[in-house]
């Protein structure tokens, strides 16, 4: 089955207008074809019950980044979806809705796990921060980047990048070097990126570990609010079938 047909078979499983499906929709529909393996279930069905997407990203050269949607009310079918797509013993980095956690814990040997919250920027809550130190260039992934550079030491003190972007949404990532924190630099570059996305018709998203208070405060200071969506990110190896 061609990738176009596979995407058609899973289209009903995702809502591109819903921020909860923003990342999954990107990797299912917009990630480069030559770096995407899509496995709808049943494989040849015109309307799938679930799917797994295995994507090659810059996150890890050896482990695929896995997103998926499962008929979680039907545990046996959900299990079948995973084993049809992922080889036993394969190491993966996997992002999924938090409600999938019991199933994933039963099928995978978990090495690390993060509990994540999804924040969304609403234009009515956003006031751009003007900081003349912020400049724009391109990140290694070819997407826009906003940064503040310490020119005296030739160090990028803070930068805001895009983890991914679709026609509707884009997820902002921010890095502030330890020696440059508490200056408002992280807030400034995130604001610049958010403003850029809004001007280009995309809704900014921000994913944060639930125990990362500093990152949550930064997001809220820019105007992001908690969408209520909860996800898990695991590094894991698929066990033999139970």
Of the candidates 79, 117, 97, the one whose C-alpha atom is nearest the C-alpha of residue 215 is 117
What CA–CA distance (Å, rounded) separates 42 from 22?
A: 24
Q: Based on the number of CB atoms within 10 Å of its own CB, is 58 exposed (0-12), middle (13-18) or buried (19 or more)?
A: exposed
Class of the CATH domain delimited by 3-115+231-238: alpha beta
pTM: 0.94
Question: CATH 3.40.630.30 region(s) of the chain?
Answer: 123-222
The residue assigned the tokens 């190491």 is 91
pLDDT at 125: 86
Rounded Cα distance between 177 and 193, Å, is 18
Say what the pLDDT of residue 57 is: 92
Q: To which H or E segment does residue 177 belong?
A: none
pLDDT at 16: 95
CB contact at 8 A, 71 and 49: yes
Q: Torsion angle of alpha carbons 235, 24, 13, 124, nearest 10°?
A: 130
Q: What pLDDT score was predicted for residue 58?
A: 80
Q: How far is CA 137 from the centre of its chain?
A: 22
Per-residue tens of pLDDT for the chain, all 242 residues? 799 999 999 999 999 999 999 999 999 999 999 999 999 999 989 999 999 999 999 878 889 999 999 999 999 999 999 999 999 999 999 999 999 999 999 999 999 999 999 999 988 889 999 999 999 999 988 999 999 998 888 889 999 999 999 999 999 999 999 888 888 999 999 999 999 999 999 999 999 999 999 999 999 999 999 999 999 999 999 999 98
CATH topology of domain 123-222: Aminopeptidase (3.40.630)
User: Strand, coil or helix: what is 215?
Assistant: helix
């Amino acid at each position: 089955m061609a990738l176009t047909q596979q995407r058609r078979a899973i289209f009903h499983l995702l809502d591109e207008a819903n921020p909860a499906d923003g990342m999954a929709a990107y990797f299912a529909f917009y990630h480069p074809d030559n770096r995407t393996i899509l496995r709808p279930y049943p494989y040849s069905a015109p309307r799938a019950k679930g799917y797994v997407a295995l994507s090659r990203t810059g996150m890890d050269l050896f482990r695929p980044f896995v997103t998926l949607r499962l008929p979680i009310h039907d545990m046996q079918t959900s299990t079948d979806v995973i084993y049809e797509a992922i080889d036993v013993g394969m190491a993966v980095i996997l992002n999924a809705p938090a409600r999938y956690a019991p199933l994933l814990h039963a099928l995978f040997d978990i090495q690390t796990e993060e509990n994540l919250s999804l924040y969304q920027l609403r234009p009515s809550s956003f006031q751009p921060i003007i900081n003349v130190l912020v400049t724009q260039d391109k990140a290694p992934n070819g997407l826009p980047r906003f940064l503040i550079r310490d020119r005296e030491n030739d160090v990028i003190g803070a930068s805001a990048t895009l983890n991914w972007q679709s026609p509707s949404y884009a997820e902002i990532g921010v890095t502030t070097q330890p020696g440059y924190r508490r200056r408002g630099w992280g807030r400034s570059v995130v604001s610049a990126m958010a403003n850029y996305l809004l001007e280009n018709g995309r809704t900014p998203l921000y994913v944060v570990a639930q125990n990362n208070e500093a990152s949550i405060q930064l997001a809220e200071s820019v105007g992001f609010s908690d969408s209520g969506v909860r996800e898990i990110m695991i590094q894991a190896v698929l066990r033999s079938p139970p």
